[in-house]
Structure 1
Amino acid sequence: MSFRNNLQYLRASHSMTQEQLAMLLGVSRQSVTKWEAEKSYPEMDKLLKMCQIFDVSLDDLVQGDVTATPVTAAAQAKAQVLRANAGGPPQDVCGYDEHMRAFAAKIATGVLVVLLGVALLMAVEGWAETYQPALEALGLIPLFVAIAAGVALFLIAGLQHTEFQRNHPFIQDFYTSDDRQRAQRFFAVTLVAGIAFVFTGIVAMACTDAASEFVQMEAAALMMGCFAVGAFLIVYGSMLLGRLNIANYNQAREQALAEGELWEGLASMDLATLRSTYTDEQLCAMLGVEQATDEELLRVRARLERRRRKGQITGGLCAIIMIVATIAGLVMLFVPGYQTPRFWMAWAIGGLLCAVSAIAVSSFVKDDPTV
């Protein structure tokens, strides 16, 4: 028998649905569907886990005939326990909570470091402008170091999170009501504390209106430092609260995997080939529709194409905006007559314009052409 037939038989004999098996293996339901449709093959660690779940050898599972071996009562009891654990009190078997805490800490620290670099730049420039004008350029050193450290933290956190999502496309929700209440209280504390730091910086700056230029520059640096701490607290608390939304994590990963597979199939196959590759039941499951009609397949193809175009347009606009912002920042930094200590605002404005462009593209380019 083929692996496909063996897997279908083992699921049926153990009264296990595709969702339950996917939960036990830490994969999406679409992955199990593709295995049983012989459109992909599980990795070795998933095969070994299936051998443990169904109490069969690897050779029998991959290329043997498991129907020749009757399912023992012990194997059925073991599968029942596994299903009960999958649907009963869940546990963090994938290290999701630890990963998300580290991810939030890296992102928040990156924001903190970059803003502190700006604060140090302002502090050094204020001191140098008053006492040592020849050393005014020294303020660029902490700024560039901070930007490099912040970007490094963002990249490391992003790569680690992408790898975690690839290895764990499905996470069972293991958080209790007490966990959620603690996270909400922690978020409230960090939000209030972050806002307090921001207002403290604003008040400190406002109190120096009548002071000397040096005092104003140092007060501006203090305000930016308070902004940095406030942003760290708010970002960290928000991400720790957001980690509790495991349903959103699973839905996003499942949608990304399904859309990637669907786009590859819909873009490279005509309707006849697509129907010969997948059954109507599989197409309905992947598309999330009741009937896999030709009109529905064409509508999904158009929607996915528009979503891809929207991503390409947004990425292109953001790339152009940040290139222009970089050119403007370098001009304000090095070109005589245009030099200003506020050159870093070019990148801040560029980031805001990127956000505006993303919102505009989402508003005018609909995913569904019928909308």
Structure 2
Amino acid sequence: MSFRDNLQHLRATHSMTQEQLALMLGVSRQSVTKWEAERAYPEMDKLLKLCQIFDCTLDDLVQGDLTATSPTPRGQAVAAALRESAAAPPQDVCGYDEHMRAFARKIATGVAAILLGVSLLIFTGTAAERFDPSLEALGLIPLFAGIVIGVGLILSGSFQHTEFQRSHPYIQDFYSEGDRRAAQRSLTASIVIGISLIFIGVVASIPADGHGDFAEGIAGGFLVALVAAAAWLIIRSGMLLARLNVANYNASREQALAESDTWKYVREASAAELRGVYTDEQICEILGIPDASDVEIARARARLERRHRKSQLSGGLCGIIMILATVAGIVMLLVPGYQTPYFWMAWVIGGLLCGVASIFVSTFVRDDPAA
């Protein structure tokens, strides 16, 4: 007997819908649909959770035949309790909020570390030029230290976020309106404070103009340090507000799932082949279409392909932009005749151009070519 048959039988005998079971497991209803269609298989932690819900062993669930058995009293009690819990106000059962706070903190600190490295480069370079020009090269040490620390934090946070998405492909929205208002107020305050810090730095640097390279260098280093603090505040608060958009998290995970074997099959299989594997209701659920007609399936397949190409185009453009920005920054840092203390602006401009490119692709390249 197959796992699919066992799961369908257990869910039916415990009077449980696919949506209820999905909420208990912390996955989307679409995942349960794919398990019961044998187009995907749950991970080990989900299998163990299923055994707990239905009071059965892992061997019986995966390889045995449970279709002839009746639910045990303990299984009925556990399932009832979990159904009641699923019907209660949503809770953060996956540690999503803690993870997103740590993710925001790492990304913001990584960006700030890179900017602080630039600030220290300006300070040490200015001091070396004033007191001992032979030590000017030592200014590269804090710069590279800031870059290494910053890139390390950003990569570490990104890898952890990717792993969290893989382990938790679906999150039920548990945030309240109060949480959203608090996050919006926090972002507003952070923007005001950040802009104020940058303004203070600009105003403080004005008296240094015309008073020699040393005074201008110190003022420039101080300004970049304040920019680092402002960036930390704004990036962290912005990401904390963005974490409340759980629907966007789930949608971004669906984009990643578009690279899985199941989604590749859905994109490439004919309408007749899909109907041979899925019911019409399951096809509508997976593709997000109102009906399972040939026309709607074709449009959904084209939309998935276009979304995938948009992601590739946006990523490719940003990669090219940042490579060019890195080359420009290195030239302005090391090549005689082009050297400037503001070489770090190459990466700032590159980041802004990446954002513009992403917005352009998102705005002008449509998901549905027929729309």
TM-score between both structures, scaled by the size of structure 1:
0.91
The reply on whether 1:105 has 2:143 as its aligned counterpart is no
Aligned to 2:340: 340
For residues 290-331 of structure 1, what are the alpha-carbon distances to aligned partners after superposition, in whole Å with 9 as ceiling and x for unaligned?
Answer: 211111122122222222222222222222222322333333
Q: What is residue 288 of structure 1 aligned with on the other side?
A: 288
How far apart, CA to CA, are the structure 1 residues paired with 2:46 and 2:235? Answer: 36
Quick one: structure 1 residues 341 and 258, their matched pair in 2 at CA, closer, same or farther if it must change by over 3 Å?
closer
Equivalent residue runs for 1:303-322 within 5 Å: 303-322=303-322
Residue 329 of structure 1 aligns to which amino acid in structure 2?
Answer: G
- CA distance in 2 between counterparts of 1:66 and 1:349 reads 61
Is residue 263–residue 301 contact of structure 1 (8 Å, CA) maintained in 2?
no
SS of aligned partner of 1:339: coil
Separation in 1, partners of 2:170, 2:80: 20
Residue type at the aligned position of 2:280: D
Q: How does 1:17-28 map to 2 (within 5 A)?
A: 17-28=17-28
- Kept in 2: contact 1:23–1:170 (CA 8 A): no
Residues 197 and 230 in structure 2, CA contact (< 8 A), matched pair in contact too: yes
The answer as to 2:191 corresponding to 1:191 is yes
| Residues 257, 263 of structure 2: 8 Å contact kept | no
Amino acid across the alignment from 2:97? D
Q: Distance in 2 between matches of 1:348 and 1:186?
A: 24
Deviates more, 1:294-303 or 1:217-226: 294-303
Compare 141-150 and 125-134 and name the one that shifted more. 125-134
- Alpha-carbon spacing, 1:7–1:166, altered in 2? closer, same or farther (3 Å): same
CA distance in 2, matches of 1:182, 1:26: 26
How much has 1:73 moved relative to structure 2? 4.6
* CA distance in 2: counterparts of 1:234 and 1:96, whole angstroms: 21
Cα shift at 1:210: 4.5
Deviation string 1:264-300 (CA, Å, 9 cap, x unpaired) is 0144323332332222111111111121111112212
CA gap 1:358/1:251 in 2 versus in 1, 3 angstroms: closer
Which residue matches 2:365? 365
Query: How do 1:217-366 residues align onto structure 2 when only pairs under 5 Å count?
Result: 217-254=217-254, 256-257=256-257, 260=260, 263-366=263-366
In the alignment, structure 1 segments of 5+ residues that lack a partner are none
Task: List alignment gaps of at least 5 residues for structure 2.
Answer: none
Task: For residue 161 of structure 2, give the secondary structure of its aligned residue in structure 1.
Answer: helix
Taking a change above 3 Å as real, the CA distance of residues 139 and 206 of structure 1, as seen in their structure-2 partners, is same
Shift of 1:369: 0.3
In 2, Cα distance between equivalents of 1:146 and 1:91 = 38
- Asked if residue 79 in structure 1 is aligned to residue 79 in structure 2, the reply is yes
Give identity over the alignment, percent: 62
Change (3 A) 1:286 1:24: same
After superposition, give the CA deviation of every residue in 1:16-41 in whole Å (9 maximum; x if it has no partner).
Answer: 11121111112222211111001122
CA distance in 2, matches of 1:342, 1:195: 20
Find the aligned partners of 1:262 and 1:246 in 2 and give their Cα distance: 23
CA change 1:262–1:81 in 2 (3 A) is same
Partner deviation per Cα, 1:238-269 (whole Å, 9 max, x = no partner): 22233233333234324543675664014432
Q: Give the Cα–Cα distance (whole angstroms) in 2 for the partners of residues 352 and 185 of structure 1.
A: 25
Partner of 1:55: 55
Cα distance in 1 for partners of 2:263, 2:39 equals 14
Alignment RMSD, CA only? 2.3
Name the aligned partner's letter for residue 208 of structure 2: T
CA offsets 1:194-240 (integer angstroms, 9 cap, x no match): 23212211221234334333212111111111111111111112222
Aligned partner of residue 56 in structure 2, secondary structure? coil
How many corresponding residue pairs? 371
Deviation at 1:338, TM superposition (A): 2.5
The answer for the alignment partner of 2:153 in structure 1 is 153
The residue type paired with residue 163 of structure 2 is E
Find the residue that maps to 1:368 and give its secondary structure.
coil
Q: Which amino acid aligns with 1:265?
A: Y
- Of 94-103 and 342-351, more deviation after overlay is shown by 342-351
Q: SS at the partner of 2:67?
A: helix
Distance in 1, matches of 2:253 and 2:27, equals 10
Instruction: For residue 99 of structure 1, report the CA deviation from its aligned partner.
Output: 1.3
The equivalent of 1:206 in structure 2 is: 206
* Distance of aligned partners of 1:195 and 1:64 in 2 relative to their CA distance in 1, 3 Å threshold: same
**Corresponding letter in the other structure for 2:238:** S
Using the alignment, how far apart are the partners of 1:49 and 1:182 within structure 2? 35
- The 10-residue stretch of structure 1 (259-268 or 120-129) with the greater mean CA deviation from structure 2: 259-268
- Report Cα offsets for 1:151-180 as digits up to 9, x if no partner: 100000000011111111122333455544
1:39 paired to 2:39: yes
Query: How far does residue 343 in structure 1 lie from its aligned partner after superposition?
Result: 2.6
Superposed displacement of residue 83, structure 1: 1.1
Deviation at 1:76, TM superposition (A): 2.6
Equivalent position amino acid for 2:288 in 1 = G
More deviation, 92-101/30-39: 92-101
Q: CA deviation at 1:143?
A: 1.0
Q: Which amino acid aligns with 2:335?
A: V
Return the offset for 1:113. 0.5
